[in-house]
Structure 1
């Protein structure tokens, strides 16, 4: 089975795991999920950093956190986060929120009308 995306559009997020072991399978899942969620805006994205942490350690509970920071050149960074009981759930929710946030940012920048003034003669 081939790759779901051509190599020229593959996103290479930086993945940081804190307090949780993140096997290669989950790292690959993060990349695939972000490629799917953000593929429509890939030309606008400069860099993506994903931070995954376990807030309570071995105690359990809804404490797996995913935080995604997207750098868009010329714009403020987009930061979204989510918590869930499982890492994959936190990744899914955070990727969805990141897609919505970048859509909002792009629609705002497109809707701004720039006033044009005639050149002044000196």
Structure 2
């Protein structure tokens, strides 16, 4: 899982960037093999005015599935990253589990030969149509 951190209209320290990467690896670590890339965009909506204006947008590219987009706003940069990372973890887990259960239900509906001899049944099918050339 590759983590990319971008910032708009504000500067962040190397320590905060390191914290963001560690936080995402912790939150998404169990699903990291199914996540190709995480793009984090941090911005300050109101500039120096203050208030609840730190914005975090996470785009998670999943292997073979639709992307997940998480957005959150808070007054503190670490808090907004924590909230977004928690939501990303829950959303990715839910989505991948839902797809896994859907695949299980589909497999249950497929016919199963179980202990039957497949070759015998296939041979009977071919014998039924073996004289088709003679009928032409």
The 5 A counterparts of 1:1-122 are: 11-112=1-102, 113-114=105-106, 115-117=109-111
Structure 1: gaps of 5 or more residues:
1-10
Count, aligned residues: 112
Secondary structure, counterpart of 1:75 in structure 2: coil
Report deviation, 1:74: 1.2
RMSD: 1.9
Secondary structure, counterpart of 1:13 in structure 2: strand
Report deviation, 1:12: 3.3
Counterpart-to-counterpart distance in 2, 1:77 and 1:92: 20
Counterpart-to-counterpart distance in 1, 2:60 and 2:34: 10
Contact 1:66 1:81 in 2 (8 A): yes
Structure 2: gaps of 5 or more residues:
113-121, 130-136
Name which one, 1 or 2, has greater alpha-carbon Rg: 2
Report deviation, 1:23: 1.1
Report deviation, 1:117: 4.8
Compute the TM-score of the two structures, normalised by the length of structure 2: 0.76
Counterpart-to-counterpart distance in 1, 2:48 and 2:92: 34
Contact 1:12 1:31 in 2 (8 A): no
